Amino acid sequence: MIIPSDCSNKNDNELVALTLEDKGYFRCLMDRYEEKLKRYILRLSNVNLEEAEDILQDVFIKVYKNLRDFDKDLKFSSWIYRITHNQVISHHRHKSARPQLTGISEEIIKNLRAELDLVDRTEAGFLSGEIFAVLNQLKPNHREILLLKFFEEKSYEEISDILKKPAGTVATLIRAAKKEFKDKWPGEPPIIGSVRP
């Protein structure tokens, strides 16, 4: 029987190796990634929580079935995010619904303000709504790359692994996504307390 304390001091690759010997250790990987991946699924798609949990279950099934094929020279987190990315796309194709974003933290707002030169004189709640409105207007590949960079805080190398694109292409996509975001940004938001038309 695996106890949680057995997992906390082990890195992902160690847990993968242990899981290949004893499937009980897979619970450790699930516990480590469940909330992160659920949040990513909800942000990337317009599904409700129940559908997100179904997608996540499919992700974990695929991860488990393909664990022996995992390349230990890569980061496990990039690999599991790539599987999640592909599963969301597959689900999206079946549902043919445009992804909508939900949930944004103060830290993400702060990072986006700095990176995209967003105005700083409005409350976070208002800015959060504006950010989501603009993100939902972006081309899907631009929206996803901004989600991975700012919401999931993935490095260029990790994004390259997740999307299976060269690092140079990732850098170009991020620049293009930031430009599209700025072009679609509605300009100076109203002063706090005023009513939007």
Q: What pLDDT is stored for residue 2 in this prediction?
A: 59
On whether the 11-95 domain is CATH 1.10.540.10, my answer is no
Radius of gyration of the chain (CA): 19
Q: What is the pLDDT of residues 45-73, one digit of tens each?
A: 878 899 999 999 999 999 999 999 998 88
Q: Give the mean pLDDT of the chain.
A: 80
Domains 11-95 and 106-184 belong to one CATH topology: no
Across 140-165, average pLDDT: 89
Record the pTM: 0.66
CB atoms within 10 A of CB 178: 19
Where does the pLDDT of residue 151 fall: very low under 50, low under 70, confident under 90, or very high at 90 and above?
Answer: confident
Q: What is the pLDDT of residues 171-189, one digit of tens each?
A: 999 999 988 988 887 765 3
Q: What pLDDT is stored for residue 166 in this prediction?
A: 92
Domain segments of the chain: what residues? 11-95, 106-184
Asked whether 82 and 152 are in contact (CB, 8 A), the reply is: no
- CATH number for the domain formed by residue range(s) 106-184: 1.10.10.10
- DSSP letter string over 80-132? HHHHHHHHHHHHHHHHT---------HHHHHHHHHHHT---SS-HHHHHHHHH
Q: What pLDDT is stored for residue 16 in this prediction?
A: 94
Q: What pLDDT is stored for residue 4 in this prediction?
A: 55
